Amino acid sequence: MKTELSFANLAGIETELLAVFAVDTQTEKGPEAKPQPELLTADEAVRSAAANVLASGEYKAGANETLLLHAPAGLAAKRLLVVGLGKKGKLASPAVRNAAGTAVRFAKPRGIRELVLALPDIAEYEARSARAVTEGAILGDYDSDTYRSDRKDLSIHSFVLVAPSTTDKAAVEAAFAEGVIIGESQNFTRTLVNEPGNKLTPTILGQRAAEMAETVGLGWQIHSTEKLNELKMGAFAAVAQGSEEPPALIVLRYEPDGVTEGPVLGLVGKGITFDTGGISIKPSEKMELMKYDMAGGAAMLGAMRAIALLKPKVRVISIVCAAENMPDGKAYKPGDVVTAMSGKTIDVINTDAEGRLVLADGLTYAKQLGATHLIDAATLTGAIGVALGIWNAGAFSNDDETFAKFQSALATTGEKFWRMPLGEEYADQIKSDIADIKNTGGRHAGASTAAEFLHAFAEDTPWIHLDIAGLAWIEDSKPYIAKGPSGVAVRSILEWVRSY
C-alpha cells in the first residue's frame, strides 16, 4: 500500500472514495434520546453533502457503522463514506484505529483501490489520531488468503490521509510516519504467524528474521543445535529433539549510536513453528492452528523491526527460540528430567507444555547477554483464554515499576492486557518430587503456574510475561480486521521499550 499525508482541501480531492468520521454527540439517556451524528470535519462542502441523510435519523454513527453516498454533491470524490466512532464522550485511539480499518475493509471487496481518509478534526487529538488512523488503515488492508490459487488482488493501492491545514503539521507528519512503521511491522508479524508449518520451519523463520534485520539495520545471529548444546540449553534442545527440523536460536541486537549506559531490554519470544503437543499429543480438532504457536516470537520480530526504524535511545536484545514440537522416536517424554541452561532441573509432566521450556532457556540467555529488564511473549496456555476470553491477553510481572511502564503504554496502543497474579501458592503447585521444578501444575490456575515457571528463570530481574494465546488468532472477521493472525503485542512491546 502506498501511503501519503496531505493537507489539501477535502472537497477538491479527486478520488474513488473519500472517507470521513462521525460521532454521536447525544448526551442524554433514556428511550426518548435519539443519536445525533456529527461529522468530524470542518469542511463545509463535506458536511453539506451528508447533511440530509444525517438528519434523517437512519444513520447513528455507532462504532464502525458505515454510510455510503454516491456522487456526493459539491465534492470531487466519486463516493463519500461516513464511518462511525460511537459516542463522542468515549472517543479514544482504539475507536479511531478500528474505524480506519473499517473504511479500508469496506473499500476492498468493492473494487476500490484508492482511499482518501479525513483526519478527525479535533485539535487536541490530531497527532494521536494521525498515528491511529494510519495503523488502522494498514492493518485493515491485510488478508490471510496467501496460498489461494484464485486469489485476487483486493488490496488498497493508495491510501492518503488528509489533515486540516490548520493543524500542527510537524506533529501530524511525525505521527503519520510512526503509524506507517508500526502498522507495517505488525503486518510483518501477522504474515509470519499466518505461514503454514511446512513453509515456515524454524530454519526459515531464522532466515526471515535475518532478512528483516539486514533491511532495517539490526545486528543478528542465527544459531542451531550445536549452539544449544554449547550453551547447555537442555530445555530448549529437549523440545526440538523430536523433529527432523533443526531448531533456530534467533538473536537480534539494536544498539543506538551513543548509548553505552543505562538499561538493556531483553525481548524473548516463543517460536514453536508447529506444535503437535509431542508425546502428549493434542486432539486433532483445530490442531492445524498450531502453526500460530510462534506468535510470541513473531511479535518480538515485529517489535524489533519497528524499534530499528523508530530508533529509541535504549539498547535492546531479542531472543526467539524456534523449534517444532513433534512426537517421533527421539522425542522427549513425560517423566523425563531435563537440565535448563540455568542449571535448574525440570520434571517433564506434559510435553505439550513446551513453550515454557524454550522460554526458560531464552530468558536465561538474554540475561547472560546483558539484559537488565525482560519481557517475554508467548501463546503459552489455553488457561488464559478460559480466564480472560478473547477480549484481554494476560500479563504477569515480578516488578510493579516495570509493569507500570507497560500499563502506561496500553493507553497509546489500545491493546488490552489484564494483569494476573503470581505468588508462592502457584510456585508450590510446580514443585517436583524428583527435580527442581515441574513443567505443569495441574488443572487449576494454569496461566499463573506457567508464569511462575518462567519466573523461576527470570528470577529477580525485572520481568513481564505476556500470555497472548487467547488473542493471537482472530476466529471471525471483524469490520476493521480480517480473520486470522492479529499481531497482538507488537505495539505494546514497542511502547514499553520506548518508555525507557
pLDDT digits (tens, 9 = 90+) for 306-327: 999 999 999 999 999 999 999 9
H runs (alpha helix) in 293-418:
295-310, 355-368, 383-388, 400-413
For residue 392, pLDDT over 80 is answered with yes
Is the pLDDT at 125 greater than 80, yes or no? no
* 438 is a catalytic site residue: no
Residue 172 lies in a domain: no
- The reply to whether 175 falls in a domain is no
State the pTM of this model: 0.97
Same domain, 471 and 369: yes
Q: Are residues 297 and 399 in the same domain?
A: yes
Q: Same domain for 386 and 468?
A: yes
Instruction: Identify the domain containing residue 409 by its residue range.
Output: 186-498
Q: Catalytic pick from 232, 282, 478, 498?
A: 282
* Gap between the Cα atoms of 8 and 18, Å rounded: 13
Q: What is the pLDDT of residue 123?
A: 66
In a domain, 141, yes or no: yes
178 within some domain? no
Residues 55 and 132 in one domain: yes
Other CB atoms within 10 A of residue 319 CB:
28
Asked whether residue 97 falls in the same domain as residue 210, the answer is: no
Banded model confidence at residue 127, pLDDT cuts 50, 70, 90: confident
180 domain residue, yes or no: no
Residue 9: which pLDDT band, with cuts at 50, 70 and 90? very high
| 199 among known catalytic residues | no
Q: Does residue 26 share a domain with residue 148? A: yes
Residue 66, pLDDT > 90, answer: yes
Instruction: Mark whether 71 and 200 lie in a shared domain.
Output: no
Is the pLDDT at 89 greater than 70? The verdict is: yes
pLDDT above 70 coverage of the chain, percent:
100
Total tally of structural domains belonging to the chain: 2
The answer on pLDDT for 124 being more than 70 is: no
Active-site pick, 97, 128, 291, 356:
356
The CA-based angle 7-142-287, given to 5 degrees, is: 160
What pLDDT sits at residue 233? 98
